[in-house]
Amino acid sequence: MAVKMEQSWKAHLQEEFEKPYFKSLTQFIRKEYENKTVFPPARLIFNAFDSCPFDEVKVVIVGQDPYHEPGQAHGLCFSVNEGIQLPPSLVNIYKEIENDLGKAVPRSGNLEKWARQGVFLLNATLTVQAHRAGSHQGKGWEEFTDAAIRHLAEERDHLVFILWGAYAQRKGERIDTNRHLVLRSPHPSPLSAHRGFFGNKHFSKANDYLFATGKEPIDW
């Protein structure tokens, strides 16, 4: 099946494209884009992959769903387009960076600069219907993104996996913690951030690990 995606990722995930679940998923997604308002724009469905080639990944952050309101989602988890108001979870992410690293909170919620440095910003589900959170869950995306995480965990060494909330933590259950750094905490959502997201120091811990394993730290 012809899928437009960054070449290194395409090579690693080619076997997924031929599986029955992915063919069914593709048919479903095509109909959704034809008949409904779906985010992100179709050309940005695989933006996380296109922005961060397989061999350049250093940190993996796992989200759940794309944002489901107009103008927000552009294919990178927790990130929004320029000029869009910062979503509450991203506000809390920035607060933790400020507390952890002493960096001022940026005005922009666009996290492309992280992706360019090797932060793979992966949502478990890559599309969503407008105004309907979770509307594309259980259609096959989860199996596909599980495969992406599995390839990274098994074929790369000394990566940082940042798993916020129970959903992301389930996605990372099989990662070898002797081979990679796995950081877990509650989700940055206002509903849970005060239960242990604030003060998790995941950003400095990630950079310390990258430095210790010979990689350039991330400019968060």
Tally Cβ neighbours within 10 Å of residue 15: 10
Helix (H, G, I), strand (E, B) or coil at 122: strand
* Catalytic residue list contains 65: yes
| Three-class SS state of 94 | helix
Count other Cβ atoms within 10 Å, centred on residue 173: 8
Question: Which tokens sit at 212?
Answer: 């210790």
Q: Choose the catalytic residue: 50, 65, 146, 219.
A: 65
Cβ pair 176, 182 in contact under 8 A: no
Long-range pairs for 167-174: beta carbons < 8 A, 24 or more residues apart: 167/64, 167/124, 168/62, 168/63, 168/64, 168/124, 171/62, 171/124, 171/145, 171/146, 172/62, 174/150
Give catalytic residue positions.
65
